[in-house]
Structure 1
Amino acid sequence: MSQCAEPGCGGTVDGGYCVLCGVAASPGTAAPSAPDACMQPGCGGTISDGYCDICGSPPASIAPGTAPGVPAPRPPAEQPDDGCGQAGCPGTVMDGYCDVCGSPPAHTSRVASAATTGSTPTGSTRTGSTRTGSSRSSGRRGMLGAGLVEVPRVPYRDPAGAVMSDPQVAEAKRFCSSCGEPVGRGRGDRPGRTEGFCPKCGARFSFTPKLSPGDLVGGQYGVLGCLAHGGLGWIYLAKDRNVSDRWVVLKGLLDSGDADAMAAAAAERAYLAEVEHPNIVKIYNFVQHGGDGYIVMEYVGGESLKDILLRQPQPPGEKHLPLAQAIAYGLEVLRAFEYLHAQGLVYCDFKPDNVIQSEEQLRLIDLGGVRRLADPDGAIYGTVGYQAPEIAADGPSVSSDLYTVGRALAVLSFPFRGYTRTFVDSLPPRSDVPVLRRFESYDRFLRRATHRDPAQRFQDAAEMAEQLTGVLREVLAAGDGTPRPAPSGLFGPERFTTRTGEAAGEQALPPVPPEAAAAALPVPLVDGTDPAAGFVSGLSALEPAQAAEAAASAPARTPEVRLALARIKIELGAAEEVDRLLDELATERPGDWRIGWYRAVALLARGRVADAEPLFDRLYGLLPGEPAPRLGLAYCRESTAPAEAIRLYETVWRTDQNYINAAFGLARVHLAAGDRGAAVAALDSVPKISIRYVPAQVAAVATAVRGRPPAELTAAELVAAGDRLAALDLDAERRDRLAAEVLEAALDWLLGGSAAAGGTQGGSLLGAPLTETSLRRLLEATYRELARRTRDRDECRRLVDSANAVRPRTLL
């Protein structure tokens, strides 16, 4: 035996626990137990540090106010039976519980420590530092994830078939609800007790159902049996005899002697009576029976997301859902959270176990941890691996609630080994997770959602859903190649300037100057709640100089007026005024992401591409579902990291073909790399219904022939360029200029000997056979027609000289 290390305790350690205070010995005084196999169906993990290394079970929840990473629970070592200390009782204490009177030994402490009282200060629920917007509406009936994803249906489960035949809690899943230590474990051939007192903290435990089949609860609900057990209590199936024998669920306490559990149950009753949402289980009543309270709620027959995950076909340790399906589930949960937060409530203990899919609908269940944001006290329940790291110190908040959704998405979407230990409050490197390597936007979404700093996370469920919906569109488009366009909730449409593609007939995909790229980027939407919102919206119809004058004389210098003035000054090139305006706004509105956006755009417009890149990169992390930051970042990387620029442009273009500049950027980078075929293919992908289809085709014609050595051309490419040009509806001058360029390239190709090597295959170009005389005659006529139209005398003389130089030679 060794001396107990607890201050003020004179007891000795026997079997790993102090015989006086019941506290576990310090590490090293007892031999650690071997890891146990996880008891979850379909899970092949092992219990390490008290949690499964694959699915994270058990325990289901951690002690109130306890931060993730609690000390590893260990099964109690063999201890001698002690006599009961109660006067006149002949019983003996086993597992901390008298087998006669049910009392703990007289020396067992039952005073909860400060760590288990749940009295933690309320943390800040809104910092505003990264608030980004509101959500899109959800979609069609029968579809999840904003109406974009059809997930496998889960058949409705017959209630009678869901009743447990032998309602017991497996010994491997028996843990103290207060300190998380294993309780009720057997020794040798003797099974563990289902009721008793924790030898470490003295809290009472009970894993015995309080209700039996046939019991009538509240004079109304006939019990059929147990459905399951959870962190806060047994769940029973019953029939409501007063309402058409409808199926209902009764939820009682796991341990009616635990003060925090009782408080949580009372809180659940009060809060849930106010809740009415299609994604949240309905509460019908609250009744008393035998001294215990029971919540009466609707029966939701289906399967939890955890069970859906565990029956996936991958091997144990590799189980995960298809990414689109996981995101669709996340969006449904965020709908419920948005509602709860609007009611001033936080869920606190979200995880895949607490969501059931029935048919095509998702429901939040087990709302035992729900509490009011305004309540600074009360029990705080959470689960290791999902709970935000600041909970123990600051209490729950909206951002900590959303953190749990991000963690659950990670667990569902990829094999997340070690999420209860190694990565208890972090994510694996992106390079180690294939789905994160493939979808950078999803990786950035998860990292913002689960950021250690609450101020850097999403600040409400609506903005989180907004960005997750954008990520989902990207994921779906990558899967089947079908674009998923949608208007942004934060940005207006992109702008298109002559310098980014409209004049491609004269300048085939030229390097776009930074100021032109900045001018083409989408503009953030005006906040409709600003008093001057209508005035600011009207400025967009004015020329920059006129708009600047109007904004300067605005009736009030509201934030929206100053943001609009900053945008106008960027276009006018007034750098110092832009910096002053943005600095002023940053002091007043530190949480407005648009200030960072205009700083990045201003730097880009001034040609400071290297300085703008990190700002666009940060905005991409802040708004992972928005195309606009990716367009800015892609432009910044065209020269320094062309492969990254191509990937970003491709992602935007594949997802939403309203962003035409992405197609032109993609073609531009391919052309700079010498891949003309890929550049033309990018331009060809602009749909015919787009108003930029003709500029894209003009650019494709010029890209095919301009600047190419004659030896690189083929007859097929020349003919294709001519056919493309002939099909376009262009004004005569623009058509003739392009025709002259194509004919010049064809004549050089012919005179260079390439025709003899490759053959003309009897083709024709713009109606002329691929012969020298025919091409000369057509080119001469084209030059003379251009000379006739021009009003520039020097240009006319040059064109006539060109016509004379190219005309066929004759004897006359």
Structure 2
Amino acid sequence: MSQPGQTCQRPGCGGAYEDVGGGLYCDTCGLAPVVSAGGTPAAAGMVVSPATGAVKGAADGAGSRSARTSSQSSRSRRSVSGRLSRSVSGKSTGRSVSVRSSGSSTGSSVRGRLGAGLVSVPQVPRPDPHAMVLERPEVPERKRFCSRSDCGAPVGRARGDRPGRTEGFCTKCGHPYSFVPKLRAGDIVHGQYEVAGCLAHGGLGWIYLAVDRAVSDRWVVLKGLLDTGDQDAMAAAISERRFLAEIEHANIVRIYNFVEHLDQRTGSLDGYIVMEYVGGKSLKEIANARRAPDGRRDPLPVEQACAYGIEALEALGHLHSRNLLYCDFKVDNAIQTEDQLKLIDMGAVRRMDDLESAIYGTVGYQAPEVGETGPSVASDLYTVGRTLAVLTFDFQGYTTVYADSLPDPDTIEVFRRYESFYRLLVRATDPDPDRRFGSAQEMAEQLTGVLREVVALQTGQPRPALSTLFGPEVKVTDTELFPPLEADVSRLGARPARKKTPAAAPAPPGAAALVRPVDTPAAALALPLPLVDPGDPAAGFLAGLPPSGPAELIGALAAAPARTVETRLRLVRARLESGDRQSALPGLAELDEERPDDWRVVWQRGVAALVTGDFEGAALAFDAVYDAFPGEAAPKLALGLCAEVLGQPDNAAEYYRLVWTTDRSFVSAAFGLARVRLAAGDRQGAVRTLESVPESSIHYTAARVAAVRARLRGRTPGPGDVPFGDDLTAAAGQVEALQAYGLDPARRARLSAEVLGGALDWVLSGGAGSAAAGRTLLGSGLDERGLRFGLERAYRTLARLAPGGKERIELVERANRYRPRTWV
């Protein structure tokens, strides 16, 4: 046995052994005494390395290995996260927040284009493999750390003028280290793979590029599997990880083989994973290549990061469907090649029921509970959320100060600009794993919804999609933004026929004061309904219910074959619709007590609160659902309504705008946005919103009628008021165009009277000036006489169409008042 002070046995080394960390190591070369398997000195020149346990992610010094202290519990219940209402945490049906609690699709993805067809991500060309080989494979001293999980001390550092050793033993714990490539160009591994050189250094050592001489000289990658000299342990490790070769997915690097290779220099038996060569750039390289003029990293556009996230979630979902966990998703472990994203590092993949294997992860990405309870689907999704954060803003301190949290959203521009994106990250990285997304598919669906919203906001083009959680809005209420003209306090028709100068009178109120307030109970019951949980025992019964009134529906539900959550929710809804609040609220309170975390119950709680006037309670409920499903339109529509009735027009306008910009099928959002813009005095903004309702909508005519009135109601034209003249022309053009869209004669005559009456006010006030000369409006000359004849015709038409005699007489009298003086 070697003793302290004894000369080093390594040929050519004149050092002596010293006791370091409980073991003997040479003070010059840093190596331990060489012994054979039986404990006797080994042959000269043969070095037998002890087994090592490498830490994944050590390439940048940020790796961590988590000790597992308890078995992984099965988590079938997922939660609704709520920043304002933390009592909402969805643990009810086994799928309370998840559309599909089991995760994602089981088949391979065939889509190769990033961005889900919503955004164009710059392609990364596939480089020449030879160009990727490092000329001088070295690990910088600043990135050399002990790979032992409970140590991680800096190793291989310079001392004075002496450069740091690339091989040796940790002076803190005595664990061996080596940053020298074990394979060199020209080496043949397993009699099949010819090494071309080093590509990079990872947590388990160097990664090599090689040519598969047995299969068409294809390019492959060799990556260390296990650093051990124990042949039996090597065989067991390779056998255990054969399952990786069965994984086939477009977004996951292909595993071809597992091989062993005897290192002639050290005598160690090394294992390698033989993988598909994926040429391209890692997300880390893509992100680091973006630089602002001051040299700071320029974060990726949020839409590009979302595109990467969706692809990564598809890959993780595939692994989860096969009871596998990826464990270490981060910017280093995903490569974009051309228009496709691939996970490239399978070294940390483990089975969900594996309670023994080492757990690999990276500080700043790994979920905080992994060290105690082990990895899970929830912890995999956590890593995706952290990666999205790292990509989309300058995330200083994500491995230290913010290792388990996100910065204040007020300090991050992308969070201020895209609230839905922020809420998605909050849920994905919630400290409580039960409050995160329930599956990769659920998170991908919500991330896709957020991406649709982001792209719509950036381009101004809607990006609608069917929801898997909510149906369409039930109906559109409050399409009549203004009361009938007879109930208006406008001065139209108040002037004697012979006066050309308007009489002195109080100025009429603006359009905002004339807008009808929203019918809150009706608007609440018109919000989209959650889709029936297909796993509910009464789902088939509910699907077969014919359309009927609330009373008939209440009777049918009383005869339901089973009293389930869905039948009880439908009964509460039917009673609210019938106006029987006294019967509806106890049933809802019972559900709320039994299942306070079921998001469907929370949604119905918000609807009931709106109907009964508890607007703040409704806002808290809908905000919690928004936290849980940031990619859905329905919670934002509901929050817009809550903000409007709470007197928060800015918030209401923002929520309505988000919904309407993304999906033009939610016409309630358009009318709501028009209302709050009129309330803020933004008449032109309200008009633009109403005129953006598409022709395909059944509410197109109602929106255009409201736009005509929004242009004119409450206006007081003054001298030289050219903009009012432009609005008159536009309004008249819309009235004429609406004939083709089924505008009935009565409404057309009434709108014509409003337009012509406004024009008469404009002319009498002197606002028209010379601009009115020779012009016509709805077939009437744009002067006092022509407009009075036009108004007379409009009111006589209304009189003929009036249903009652009293109304008919009043309209005829009004026509006579407007008729100009004539000789006959």
Query: Shorter-chain TM-score: which interval?
Result: 0.7 to 0.9
Q: Residue 408 of structure 1: CA displacement?
A: 0.4
TM-score, normalization by structure 2 = 0.81
Given the alignment of the two structures, is residue 375 of structure 1 paired with residue 341 of structure 2, yes or no? no
Q: C-alpha offsets along residues 291-318 of structure 1, whole Å, 9 cap, x if unaligned? A: 2211111111111110111111325433
The one of 626, 629, 640 aligned to 2:632 = 626
In structure 1, the partner of 2:815 is 803
- Cα 1:262–1:233 change in 2 (3 A) is farther
Q: C-alpha offsets along residues 694-745 of structure 1, whole Å, 9 cap, x if unaligned? A: 1111111122222333547833322332221122121111212222233333
Given the alignment of the two structures, is residue 738 of structure 1 paired with residue 751 of structure 2, yes or no? yes
The one of 633, 646, 653 aligned to 2:660 = 653
The one of 44, 68, 71 aligned to 1:119 = 68
Q: Residue 685 of structure 1: CA displacement?
A: 1.2
The residue type paired with residue 609 of structure 2 is: L
| Runs of at least 5 residues in structure 1 that lack an aligned partner in the other structure | 1-18, 20-80
Q: Residue 206 of structure 1: CA displacement?
A: 2.4
The residue type paired with residue 670 of structure 1 is: R
- Cα 1:601–1:264 change in 2 (3 A) is farther
Contact 1:715 1:763 in 2 (8 A): no
Q: C-alpha offsets along residues 668-714 of structure 1, whole Å, 9 cap, x if unaligned? A: 11111222221111111112232221111111112222233354783
Distance in 2 between residues matched to 1:219 and 1:526, nearest whole Å: 59
TM-score, normalization by structure 1 = 0.82
- Cα 1:139–1:266 change in 2 (3 A) is closer
In structure 2, the partner of 1:213 is 185
Within a 5 Å distance, the mapping from 1:740-759 to structure 2 comes to 740-751=753-764, 753-755=765-767
Distance in 2 between residues matched to 1:116 and 1:202, nearest whole Å: 18
In structure 2, the partner of 1:162 is 132
Distance in 2 between residues matched to 1:155 and 1:102, nearest whole Å: 50
Distance in 2 between residues matched to 1:502 and 1:575, nearest whole Å: 28
- Cα 1:85–1:432 change in 2 (3 A) is closer
| Runs of at least 5 residues in structure 2 that lack an aligned partner in the other structure | 5-14, 40-49, 54-63, 81-96, 263-268, 488-513
In structure 1, the partner of 2:709 is 702
Distance in 2 between residues matched to 1:745 and 1:465, nearest whole Å: 53
- Cα 1:139–1:772 change in 2 (3 A) is farther
Given the alignment of the two structures, is residue 664 of structure 1 paired with residue 671 of structure 2, yes or no? yes
Given the alignment of the two structures, is residue 572 of structure 1 paired with residue 578 of structure 2, yes or no? yes
Which sits farther off after the overlay, 190-199 or 417-426?
A: 190-199
In structure 2, the partner of 1:14 is none
In structure 2, the partner of 1:247 is 219
SS at match of 2:772: coil
Within a 5 Å distance, the mapping from 1:322-333 to structure 2 comes to 322-333=301-312
Distance in 2 between residues matched to 1:264 and 1:488, nearest whole Å: 47
In structure 2, the partner of 1:447 is 426
Q: Residue 630 of structure 1: CA displacement?
A: 0.7
- Cα 1:172–1:658 change in 2 (3 A) is same
The residue type paired with residue 793 of structure 1 is: G
- Cα 1:254–1:418 change in 2 (3 A) is farther
Q: Residue 811 of structure 1: CA displacement?
A: 5.9
Distance in 1 between residues matched to 2:330 and 2:166, nearest whole Å: 26
Which sits farther off after the overlay, 637-646 or 263-272?
A: 263-272
In structure 1, the partner of 2:341 is 362
Given the alignment of the two structures, is residue 714 of structure 1 paired with residue 724 of structure 2, yes or no? yes
SS at match of 1:488: coil
SS at match of 1:184: coil
Aligned pair count? Answer: 723
Given the alignment of the two structures, is residue 147 of structure 1 paired with residue 147 of structure 2, yes or no? no
The one of 71, 92, 99 aligned to 1:133 = 99
In structure 2, the partner of 1:309 is 287
Q: Residue 132 of structure 1: CA displacement?
A: 3.5
Distance in 2 between residues matched to 1:479 and 1:263, nearest whole Å: 54
In structure 2, the partner of 1:464 is 443
SS at match of 1:294: strand
Which sits farther off after the overlay, 281-290 or 221-230?
A: 221-230
Distance in 2 between residues matched to 1:417 and 1:263, nearest whole Å: 43
Q: Residue 269 of structure 1: CA displacement?
A: 2.1
Contact 2:133 2:198 in 1 (8 A): yes
SS at match of 1:284: strand
Q: C-alpha offsets along residues 499-536 of structure 1, whole Å, 9 cap, x if unaligned? A: 34599888985221111221221111122233432332
Given the alignment of the two structures, is residue 783 of structure 1 paired with residue 749 of structure 2, yes or no? no
Q: Residue 465 of structure 1: CA displacement?
A: 0.5
Q: Residue 667 of structure 1: CA displacement?
A: 0.8
Distance in 1 between residues matched to 2:236 and 2:77, nearest whole Å: 28
Within a 5 Å distance, the mapping from 1:260-659 to structure 2 comes to 266=238, 269-290=241-262, 291-314=269-292, 315-501=294-480, 510-539=516-545, 541-586=547-592, 589=595, 591-638=597-644, 639-659=646-666
Q: C-alpha offsets along residues 146-167 of structure 1, whole Å, 9 cap, x if unaligned? A: 2222211112122233222332
- Cα 1:539–1:748 change in 2 (3 A) is farther
SS at match of 1:293: strand
- Cα 1:477–1:611 change in 2 (3 A) is same
In structure 2, the partner of 1:76 is none
In structure 1, the partner of 2:683 is 676
Q: C-alpha offsets along residues 164-222 of structure 1, whole Å, 9 cap, x if unaligned? A: 23323222211111222111222122232233332223332222322233332222222
Distance in 2 between residues matched to 1:278 and 1:756, nearest whole Å: 68
Q: Residue 140 of structure 1: CA displacement?
A: 8.7
Which sits farther off after the overlay, 595-604 or 754-763?
A: 754-763
SS at match of 2:478: helix
- Cα 1:504–1:550 change in 2 (3 A) is farther
| Identity across the alignment (%) | 54
Distance in 2 between residues matched to 1:102 and 1:438, nearest whole Å: 65
Contact 1:212 1:223 in 2 (8 A): yes
Q: Residue 262 of structure 1: CA displacement?
A: 7.4
The residue type paired with residue 277 of structure 2 is: Y
Distance in 2 between residues matched to 1:434 and 1:525, nearest whole Å: 35
Given the alignment of the two structures, is residue 792 of structure 1 paired with residue 811 of structure 2, yes or no? no
SS at match of 1:637: helix
Q: Residue 808 of structure 1: CA displacement?
A: 2.6
Given the alignment of the two structures, is residue 204 of structure 1 paired with residue 179 of structure 2, yes or no? no
Q: Residue 277 of structure 1: CA displacement?
A: 1.1
Distance in 2 between residues matched to 1:277 and 1:544, nearest whole Å: 49
Q: Which has the higher contact order (CA 8 A, sep 6+)?
A: 2
The residue type paired with residue 160 of structure 1 is: H
Q: Alpha carbon RMSD of aligned pairs, Å?
A: 3.3
In structure 2, the partner of 1:9 is none
The residue type paired with residue 607 of structure 1 is: G
Given the alignment of the two structures, is residue 691 of structure 1 paired with residue 698 of structure 2, yes or no? yes
Distance in 1 between residues matched to 2:24 and 2:381, nearest whole Å: 53
The residue type paired with residue 376 of structure 1 is: L
Contact 1:687 1:693 in 2 (8 A): yes
Distance in 2 between residues matched to 1:485 and 1:758, nearest whole Å: 47
Q: C-alpha offsets along residues 778-806 of structure 1, whole Å, 9 cap, x if unaligned? A: 32333233223223233223223323333
In structure 2, the partner of 1:13 is none
Q: C-alpha offsets along residues 228-285 of structure 1, whole Å, 9 cap, x if unaligned? A: 22012321222222222222212115743799x9799658724413321111111111
Distance in 1 between residues matched to 2:275 and 2:600, nearest whole Å: 45
- Cα 1:402–1:362 change in 2 (3 A) is same
